[in-house]
Amino acid sequence: MATYQEIFEHNRKWVAARTAEDPDFFEKLAKDQEPDYLYIGCSDSRVPANEIMGLEPGDVFVHRNVGNLVLNTDLNAQTVIDYAVNYLHVKHVIVCGHYNCGAVRAAMVPQDMGLLNPWLRNIRDVYRMHYDELQAIADETTRYQRLVELNVQEQCFNVIKTATVQKSYLDNNYPIVHGWVFDLHRGYLVDLNIDFEAVLKEVQKLYDLHS
Ligand code: CO
């Protein structure tokens, strides 16, 4: 673990290495951002967005919170989506959860978590929506992993429920919304292969906001 002072040493070394590779690196970086991806993930320190995707500064617009939730009353998440879609014109929106997620684990335990209660309730709601499927899984770890996946799926639906995404997709054919899970044990990203067109059609039965 690095000490506080070491972070600044690391930073200076990083600047030196980047500049050695490309003397104009920071000049280019300062010009503008044109990321193709919006990544919405968990705040968990073990899931660094750029690093697991092998992407450089400038490549991905990032929003992280506890449990990678996309709530319609969360002005922060909604602002990020609006800005990324309408101003940065991202081509892909990714919701990325991860196995061993403390937020999902906490939501599976019947316990008063104080201030976290209203936030975690959204994950408990995902459990309730998929109660029969989850209760049918005898092994607790498997059930926990499945809830991680279902939470990602529901948050993808929440992204697709926004007028911003629906309007942009109908006008421009982007962004496409994807659901991923980062497998902490092995380091791999798992694509849940959410059928964006099918989900959009399903969502628009009740949440059609494009006109
Ligand atoms: Co997490």
Tens-digit pLDDT string for the chain (211 aa): 889 999 999 999 999 999 999 999 999 999 988 999 999 999 999 999 999 999 999 999 999 999 999 999 999 999 999 999 999 999 999 999 999 999 999 999 999 999 999 999 999 999 999 999 999 999 999 999 999 999 999 999 999 999 999 999 999 999 999 999 999 999 999 999 999 999 999 999 998 887 7
pTM for this prediction: 0.95
165-210 pLDDT tens trace? 999 999 999 999 999 999 999 999 999 999 999 999 999 999 888 7
- Is 101 an active-site residue? yes
CA pair distance 66, 131, nearest whole angstrom: 22
CA of 34 to the centre of ligand 1 (A): 27
Spot the catalytic one: 59, 64, 89, 98.
98
- Is 98 an active-site residue? yes
Spot the catalytic one: 46, 121, 125, 191.
46
- Is 42 an active-site residue? yes
CA of 113 to the centre of ligand 1 (A): 16
The domains of the chain are located at 35-205
- Is 121 an active-site residue? no
**CATH architecture observed for domain 35-205:** 3-Layer(aba) Sandwich (3.40)
SS3 for 64?
Answer: strand
CA of 105 to the centre of ligand 1 (A): 9
| CA proximity to 77, closest of 198, 147, 161, 170 | 161
User: What's the half-sphere exposure (Cβ side, CA atoms, 13 Å) at 89?
Assistant: 4
CA pair distance 155, 136, nearest whole angstrom: 23
- Is 156 an active-site residue? no
DSSP H/E element including 179: strand 176-183
CA of 64 to the centre of ligand 1 (A): 10
